[in-house]
Amino acid sequence: MDRVSLSVGSGGKLMRDFVKEVIVETLGNPYLEQFGDSAHVNLSGDLCFTTDSFVVRPIFFPGGDIGKLAVSGTINDLVVAGARPLFLSLSLIIEEGFFVHDLKNILSSVRATSSSADVLVVTGDTKVVPKGDADQLYINTAGIGQKLVEPGNIREGDVLIVTDCVGDHSVAIMVARGEFDFWGDVQSDCRPLHSLLPLWDMGVKWMRDITRGGLATVLCELAEEKHIPVEVWERDVPFSPAVNALAEILGIDSFYLASEGSAVLVAPQDKTDEIIAFLHGIPEGRHASVIGRIGGKGKPGEVVLETASGGLRYLEPLTGELLPRIC
Amino acid sequence: MEFSLLRQKKSVELLLQKVDSLLESIGREVRIMEVCGTHTMTAYRSGLGHVLRKKGVRLISGPGCPVCITPEGVLLAAAKVVEEMENTILVSFGDMLRVPVDGKSLLTLVPAQNSSVKVIYAPEEALKTAELNPDRRVVFLATGFETTIPSIAWVVLEAQRKNMKNLFFITSLRLVPPPLRAILCSGDVNLDGFIYPGHVSVIIGSRPYEFIPEEFGVPGAVAGFEPVDLLLGVISVLQQICAGEAKVDIVYTRAVQPEGNPAARKIMDTAFECADAEWRGFGVIPRSGLVLRNKVLDASREFGLELSSRKAHEACRCGDVVKGSIEPEECPLFARTCAPESPQGPCMVSVEGSCLIHYKYGSVRWTGSA
Amino acid sequence: MCLAVPLKLVEIEGYEGIVEMGGIKRRVNLSLVENPQRGDFVLVHAGFAIAVINREEAEKTLSLIREMEQHS
């Protein structure tokens, strides 16, 4: 069988064989091999529980694929909530006719990504829908993690740190789609951020991955939720040359471009050096930088940007789509 | 080349010191119109607009924003194409597709059977779309000033040369110098100088503005779009004021020549001819627009679209804002019934519209100090 | 009103070329500029080169800034 057929989704032996040979074999772990209706896991204490759905076009892109994206995204939601990710669920909605070898490749990256973070996919489901009813492959996940810390109180003078460059995922996807005819060697930063977990022991008070809506939107949520003023220094925000280039050419504000492997955090000022040194020592934190602080010139709930040329402006949450401008 | 030097804080600070010393010898507030919306964007994105205002240089946004001045009738005609014509793809620039008309925008309305809307970055994509979809009609909502018009003209001439039967144009093309004359003649603006649009001037050169110092005695400079470029423009205007002279200075010499780009203008003249044109907020300005020479490509003729003008909200004073005779805050609707979520006039629509910029970054909300 | 960015012209083929910035490339239409050379910076607006950046003039502006910085 080289393509997924509708009959695979109809239950019965064909489906069981497919799940066994394609999915379980690729993901391979003792929980899945039991073929139970639900996974039995042994946990206690404070837990975090998250779910997410993944729809991306193209499903293979430079730096990753929908499988890596799904596992990373779920892991990262737990990490930034202060939890050690442990178990995942994985549901596939497959369009009839999808190539089996593509599916195997995607599941291999699910396995590679989850095992790199010591996380197990313990349960899952597969549905096949008629051609045209879905776009190739959708993935839904849930994740369970052990809560490690209760985040501390944010106060004026705390520093804002981004763990790495911002916006690479958006740009890689735009280029991979061939949108507006750009091309170039640009990789998505899609990756699991479990290596950031030790930061919680260094006094980090708040963390968020910089996904849809970009840095601006995430910081606006911080300012609004905690009712605090936030100040950001444009000069210190790390953007890769490709992100800067595409943003400039298309007239898009790079503060709204998404990452899938970078986070922003709040920490006490006296921990800055320790945190930055730690981040610079791991691959996920090579371009870590202090980009601002809590307080400054705005009112509570506002994010004020000190621009590279020394002026001030507000950052607002993303509204609408990011479209290229000619003006 | 180290273009980054043109936006760094140190360079900006040094030029601002120069602005300070010039302002000291002038001894009063100076009002400068930046004609181009992209300059408005530079001023506000960099925060320089606010800094300059506090020093005593008031930047007034002029009519150089296509989203702001494109008549509503044009957008309604484009909406009609999308909603009522089957088998049709409307293509346009991102800027235009976002503009709300009757509570919707071209991006949010429901297209007719087998029709769609496509955002393009380059006019050439219109041509490509038409070639890839021979069994569908492609309508290009083509807007812009002299910077964009030659590229659109190239596409028009290519469509003609290839004898394409499925590519049509709704055009709203405008020229920059005529509204400047209109503003100066209307007499209700009090301006000390102009920052002329750098990229329009790449095409038309600096000569079409000569009438401004000659007939009206108003100084001006053609400037680029980096923060340093903008400040060099402001400094040139201030220097002219100090010296008691008025000319058209070019501070964007790396891109602009006095004679402009004759090759681009030739292509533009081959595809289009001059006509009277409506500007949202201004009304009709004589010989301020360009229309297709080849009427066969004209979508409004081909499909009987009426580009009727329609009056904006009665109390809306976008017209005066665009002319620079009032500040957005002086409009009775500003930040009351007119806000980014519910724009009543075009200046609240465009990302470079004066009202939107004042609303977002402007003095109303701003309490801190730079 | 018009966003245009200086991009390096890395290839020319007839009326088309390829421009590059930060590893991102795009085809550019060169019909509107006279005699562009490989290695030139061209000012790109909506996929068209509308001017070739004059290096000497650019250098003048940049050295003006550098000089100011030295004297401050």
ipTM above 0.90, yes or no: yes
Check residue B361 and give its pLDDT.
Answer: 66
Task: Tell me if B202 and C65 make a contact (CB, 8 A cut-off).
Answer: no
Distance from CA of A306 to the nearest CA of C (A): 21
Q: How far is CA A174 from CA A183, A241, A242, C21, in A?
A: 9, 15, 11, 16
Tell me if B222 sits within 8 A of B251, measured CB to CB.
Answer: yes
**3-state SS track over A25-59:** HHHCCHHHHCCCCCCCCCCCCCEEEEEEEECCCCC
* Stated pTM of the model: 0.92
**From CA B212, how far away is CA B218, in angstroms rounded?**
6
Q: Whole-number mean pLDDT of chain A?
A: 94
* Same domain flag for A167 and A307: yes
Chains that touch B (3 or more CB pairs under 8 A): A, C
CATH number at residue C44: 2.30.30.140
Number of structural domains chain A divides into: 2
* Same domain flag for A140 and A168: no
Task: Tell me if C21 and A248 make a contact (CB, 8 A cut-off).
Answer: yes
Check residue A297 and give its pLDDT.
Answer: 86
Which of A144, A148, A146, A194 minimizes the C-alpha distance to A39? A144
Q: Scanning every residue of chain C, which has its alpha carbon at the shortest distance from the alpha carbon of B125?
A: C47
Task: Tell me if C45 and A182 make a contact (CB, 8 A cut-off).
Answer: no
Least confident of A68-72, A272-276, A314-318, B152-156: A314-318
Least confident of A23-32, A136-145, B230-239, B342-351: B342-351
What is the separation of C-alpha B5 from the centre of its chain, rounded to a whole number of angstroms? 26
pLDDT tens by residue, A216-234: 999 999 999 999 999 999 9
| Contact status of A10 with chain C (Cβ, < 8 Å) | no
Domain that holds residue C12: 5-70
pLDDT tens by residue, B301-342: 999 888 776 665 678 888 788 777 788 889 999 988 888 777
Q: Is residue A323 part of a domain?
A: no
Angle at B73 between CA B37 and CA B180, to 5 degrees: 35
- Residue ranges of the alpha helices (H) in A85-126? 100-116
**From CA B339, how far away is CA B352, in angstroms rounded?**
14
Least confident of A200-204, B22-26, B71-75, B172-176: B71-75
Residue at a domain's end among A147, A173, A207:
A147
Split at pLDDT 50, 70, 90, the class of A35 is confident
- Mean pLDDT over A170-184 rounds to 93
3-state secondary structure of A301: coil
| Contact status of A257 with chain C (Cβ, < 8 Å) | no
- Residue C63 has phi, psi (to 5 degrees) of -75, -25
What is the separation of C-alpha A267 from the centre of its chain, rounded to a whole number of angstroms? 21
* Same domain flag for A115 and A184: no
pLDDT tens by residue, B106-119: 888 999 999 999 99
* Same domain flag for A220 and A191: yes
> Where on the phi/psi map is residue B304: left (φ > 0), alpha (ψ -120 to 50), or beta?
left
Q: Which of A296, A304, A310 lies closest to B12 in CB terms?
A: A310
Q: Is residue A153 part of a domain?
A: no
Number of structural domains chain C divides into: 1
Residue at a domain's end among A115, A147, A179:
A147
Q: Is the pLDDT of residue B366 over 50?
A: no
* Same domain flag for A167 and A119: no
Q: Residue B352: its chain C contacts at CB < 8 A?
A: 1
* Same domain flag for A132 and A255: no
Check residue B313 and give its pLDDT.
Answer: 66
- Mean pLDDT over A58-86 rounds to 97
Q: Residue A184: its chain C contacts at CB < 8 A?
A: 20, 22-25
pLDDT tens by residue, A91-112: 999 999 999 999 999 999 999 9
**Is B263 exposed, middle or buried (CB count within 10 Å of its CB: 0-12, 13-18, 19+)?**
middle
Task: Tell me if A249 and C23 make a contact (CB, 8 A cut-off).
Answer: no
Which of the residues A168, A174, A248 would you substitute to probe the C interface, choosing the one with the greatest number of C C-beta atoms within 10 Å?
A248
Q: Is the pLDDT of residue A12 over 90?
A: no
Check residue B369 and give its pLDDT.
Answer: 36
Distance from CA of A305 to the nearest CA of C (A): 22
* Same domain flag for A187 and A245: yes
- Mean pLDDT over C65-71 rounds to 85
Q: Which of C2, C24, C44 lies closest to A246 in CB terms?
A: C24
- Segment holding A218, helix H or strand E: helix A214-225
Q: Which of B45, B67, B352 lies closest to A307 in CB terms?
A: B45
Q: Is residue A152 part of a domain?
A: no
Q: Which of C22, C45, C46 lies closest to A241 in CB terms?
A: C22
Least confident of A251-265, B30-44, C41-55: B30-44
Q: Is residue A267 part of a domain?
A: yes
Q: Scanning every residue of chain B, which has its alpha carbon at the shortest distance from the alpha carbon of C65?
A: B11
- Mean pLDDT over B138-163 rounds to 97
Check residue B102 and give its pLDDT.
Answer: 73
Q: Is residue A288 part of a domain?
A: yes
Split at pLDDT 50, 70, 90, the class of B350 is confident
Angle at B344 between CA B342 and CA B345, to 5 degrees: 130
Instruction: Return the sign of the alpha-carbon dihedral for residues A17, A18, A20, A22.
Output: positive
Check residue B364 and give its pLDDT.
Answer: 41
Split at pLDDT 50, 70, 90, the class of B365 is very low
* Same domain flag for A168 and A135: no
**From CA B27, how far away is CA B50, in angstroms rounded?**
19
* Same domain flag for A166 and A297: yes
* Same domain flag for A133 and A20: yes
Which of the residues C11, C24, C25, C42 would you substitute to probe the A interface, choosing the one with the greatest number of A C-beta atoms within 10 Å?
C24
Tokens of B23: 């302002």
Tell me if A52 sits within 8 A of A74, measured CB to CB.
Answer: yes
**From CA C50, how far away is CA C57, in angstroms rounded?**
17
A87 CB neighbour count, 10 Å cutoff:
18
Q: Residue B144: its chain C contacts at CB < 8 A?
A: 1-2
**From CA B343, how far away is CA B334, in angstroms rounded?**
9
* Same domain flag for A240 and A108: no
Q: Is the pLDDT of residue A262 over 60?
A: yes
- Segment holding B328, helix H or strand E: none
Tell me if B233 sits within 8 A of B221, measured CB to CB.
Answer: yes
Split at pLDDT 50, 70, 90, the class of B368 is very low
**From CA B205, how far away is CA B194, in angstroms rounded?**
15
Check residue A183 and give its pLDDT.
Answer: 94
Residue written as token pair 């951020």: A193
Distance from CA of C47 to the nearest CA of A (A): 9
Q: Is the pLDDT of residue B367 over 50?
A: no
- Residue ranges of the alpha helices (H) in chain B? 9-26, 37-45, 48-55, 66-69, 72-84, 94-97, 124-132, 149-161, 177-186, 198-204, 211, 227-243, 262-271, 299-302, 318-323, 354-361
Domain that holds residue A22: 6-147
DSSP structure string for C25-60: EEEEE-TTSSS--TT-EEEEETTEEEEE--HHHHHH
Sheet containing strand B116-120, edge to edge, reads: B116-120, B88-93, B137-144, B167-174, B283-292, B272-279
Split at pLDDT 50, 70, 90, the class of B44 is confident
Q: Is residue A73 part of a domain?
A: yes
* Same domain flag for A171 and A130: no
CATH number at residue A126: 3.30.1330.10
- Residue C43 has phi, psi (to 5 degrees) of -85, 115
DSSP lists the bridge partners of residue B174 as B289
Task: Tell me if C1 and B254 make a contact (CB, 8 A cut-off).
Answer: no
Q: Residue A313: its chain B contacts at CB < 8 A?
A: 44-47, 50, 361
Check residue A66 and give its pLDDT.
Answer: 98
Task: Tell me if C5 and A327 make a contact (CB, 8 A cut-off).
Answer: no
Check residue B340 and give its pLDDT.
Answer: 78
CATH number at residue A172: 3.90.650.10
Distance from CA of B16 to the nearest CA of C (A): 12
